[in-house]
Structure 1
Amino acid sequence: MTRLAVIDFETTGISPGQGDRATEVAIVLVDNGQVVDRFQSLMNAGVRIPSFITQLTGISNAMLAGAPSAAQAMAEASRFVGQLPLVAHNAAFDRKFWQAELARIDDPADQPFVCTLLLSRRLYPQAPNHKLGTLVDYHRLPRSGQAHRALADAEMAAHLLGRIQHDLRQRWGVAAPHSPMLMAVQRCAKAAMGKLLAQHRHS
């Protein structure tokens, strides 16, 4: 499967287990490195946004007052993704909110997550750091929209994913950098990277 769904959440905090909720979700569908579709929605979970989060994201309580309910937005997001593997930068964060918000609407979706942060740590150890914005600038990838808004961040993560797949093909000779191969790379110890990439070369 060549199609992947790159996802990003904006939230009221870092832990759904401590009551934090998603305030915005965006998904960018990528097929063979090309963006083919997009989904974005604010989502009203009935909780207040802390002022420091508003300062970071620009999302205010007033903006959420007329937004779709969290249940409606997540149902639409789930239908949009279907059974596609998901991709996120710092996927541990987005996966927690994906699962927690879907659990609230009794949706059992549990796709594998590819993490562009972990991939970048393995493939680009020389980068200044592995924050999304830094990596986008490091690779001279396009920036679009406002940072810390879900669609802009999902677009940047999609561009980074495309660069990772391109480099796996061109620099490391990997014929098919599909989601199972990407997940193998992100789980691989640094010392074993050469062996893993050799196994997938021209395979």
Structure 2
Amino acid sequence: MRPADSVIVLDFETTGLSPDGGDRAIEIGAVRLENGLAVERFQELMYPGKKVSSFIADYTGITNSMLAKAAPCEEVMDRFADFIGGSNLVAHNASFDKRFLDSELARIDRSYSGLFSCSLLAARRIFQQAPNHQLGTLVKYVNIPSEGDFHRALFDAEMTAKVWMAMLELLQQRYQLLDIGFELIQQLNKTPKAQVNKFLQGRV
């Protein structure tokens, strides 16, 4: 069993919504958790080979002048692939980040062997009473101190890591689950919300 509290939590900022439409990554931020503690971080801007729109610049705070000084996507993603190693991966709204991770790594013929899980899907099941499950809302919902800018990759990864650990701690307390495996969270994410209690009680 690979523990759910030893993972890499990552976040991309990008030129748009879809790599299939030609969008590229412009920043990667990641936090390595080991036994629930942040032990290493990765953050780099990357030049996507084209200018970003004014909307993206306003949304992220990442300007074209900042990106002009950054290393190309290929160089940054090669370093990030080394950072990932064989770790399991977590992201908030993971389908978005996984698409960009897969696309950027495919461009340089790199890959990863770890499993991927989504903290957004987990939060919908574990924090069912939250007003919504956007990252900023969850940070407030579980009273996580936050001083920084959302929509910057490392800050979002840091906040996601803290929300992830808050969810694991709640599962440990509520269901007396001492050792939570990564695969358990993946199974939980596929469980209908109405059946979450039954699913988790069966794991005690």
Instruction: Specify the TM-score bucket, using the shorter chain as the normaliser.
Output: over 0.9
Per-residue deviation at 1:45?
1.6
Instruction: State whether residues 142 and 159 of structure 1, in contact with CA within 8 Å, keep that contact through their aligned partners in structure 2.
Output: no
SS of residue matched to 2:7: strand
Partner of 1:146: 149
TM-score, with normalisation over the residues of structure 1?
0.96
For 2:181 and 2:169, the matched residues in 1 are separated by 11
Partner of 2:121: 118
Instruction: State whether residues 21 and 47 of structure 1, in contact with CA within 8 Å, keep that contact through their aligned partners in structure 2.
Output: no
Per-residue deviation at 1:110?
5.2
Q: Give the aligned CA root-mean-square deviation in angstroms.
A: 1.1
For 1:142 and 1:34, the matched residues in 2 are separated by 16
Partner of 1:79: 82
Partner of 1:103: 106
For 1:187 and 1:173, the matched residues in 2 are separated by 21
Per-residue deviation at 1:195?
2.3
SS of residue matched to 1:171: helix
Instruction: State whether residues 27 and 45 of structure 2, in contact with CA within 8 Å, keep that contact through their aligned partners in structure 1.
Output: yes
Q: Does 1:178 align with 2:181?
A: yes
Per-residue deviation at 1:39?
0.4
Partner letter of residue 25 of structure 2? A
For 2:119 and 2:112, the matched residues in 1 are separated by 21
1:1-203, aligned counterparts within 5 Å?
A: 1-2=2-3, 3-109=6-112, 111-201=114-204
Per-residue deviation at 1:199?
2.3
For 1:92 and 1:142, the matched residues in 2 are separated by 27
For 2:176 and 2:17, the matched residues in 1 are separated by 38
Per-residue deviation at 1:178?
2.3
- The share of aligned pairs that are identical, in percent, is 44
Per-residue deviation at 1:200?
1.9
What are the superposed Cα offsets for residues 84-139 of structure 1, whole Å, 9 maximum, x if unpaired? 01000000100000000000001132532111100010111110100000000010
Structure 1, gaps ≥5 residues long: none
Per-residue deviation at 1:144?
3.8
What are the superposed Cα offsets for residues 13-35 of structure 1, whole Å, 9 maximum, x if unpaired? 01000001000001100112211
SS of residue matched to 1:200: coil
TM-score, with normalisation over the residues of structure 2?
0.95
What are the superposed Cα offsets for residues 27-61 of structure 1, whole Å, 9 maximum, x if unpaired? 10011221111000001120210100100100011
SS of residue matched to 1:14: coil
Partner letter of residue 185 of structure 2? L
Instruction: State whether residues 87 and 113 of structure 2, in contact with CA within 8 Å, keep that contact through their aligned partners in structure 1.
Output: no
